[in-house]
Amino acid sequence: MARIDGVSDAEAGLLTRVVYRGAKARAAGRVPDPLRIMAKSPSVMWAAGFYELASARGASAPAHLKALAGIKAASMIGCVF
């Protein structure tokens, strides 16, 4: 549970709802809490989204190694998500 309340579906604008719909498709039918919190600042949400897309499209490493590196980095900094 986050200390900051995120943007709910009812409060979200049109573009944020589109982003939420895409996140639901990728994250087992739920919008992740970090995305809801980032939606409080649309520029941060868009920057993080473009970064995610760019890193996913990168061809320097296979997708399974990128996922493994992300999990390792998250465990090193103590991220529970």
Domain range list for the chain: 14-77
Q: Could you report the per-residue pLDDT of 18-28, keeping only the tens digit for each? A: 988 988 888 88
> Residue by residue, what is the 3-state secondary structure of 10-77?
CCCCHHHHHHHHHHHHHCCCCCCHHHHHHCCCHHHHHHHHHHHHHHHHCCCCCHHHHHHHHHHHHHHH
**Predicted structure pTM score:** 0.66
Q: Are 2 and 37 in contact (CB under 8 A)?
A: yes
pLDDT tens digit string along 11-55?
988 988 998 898 888 888 888 888 899 999 889 988 988 888 887
37: its two tokens: 């919190």
